[in-house]
Amino acid sequence: MTESDVINAYALRYLEDRARDGTGQGARVTDCVAYPGQDREIWLHVVCGPPGDATRQYEYEVIRLGQFVRGWSPQSEGIAPGSGPRGPET
């Protein structure tokens, strides 16, 4: 699994999350970027949202196998693993 695979998978999840939250209009997979994880166990920190609009920003932390660990959305304090669409797993 490559970084691109993970970014693309979570970009699709972002579109699904935005649609679920009623803010899907205008959402694009190109709204997403990824950074190296800050915690030792986090491989990638994927951040998605329209540029300059923190009110529609979603974040996903992913381990090396592509498994979702934790995330954040504008509507919650955090997204629990197992809630909503699943991320890629190998």
Helix (H) or strand (E) holding 35: strand 32-36
Report the predicted TM-score, pTM, of the whole model to 2 decimal places.
0.81
What pLDDT is stored for residue 85 in this prediction? Answer: 41
Encoding tokens for residue 57? 């920003």
Average pLDDT of the segment spanning 49-57: 88
End-to-end Cα separation, the chain, in angstroms:
8
Encoding tokens for residue 3? 């970084």
Q: Would you place residue 77 in the very low, low, confident or very high pLDDT band (cuts 50, 70, 90)?
A: low
Give the count of alpha carbons within 13 A of 3, CB side only.
Answer: 11
Distance (Å, rounded) from C-alpha 14 to C-alpha 57? 9
Average pLDDT of the segment spanning 29-51: 95
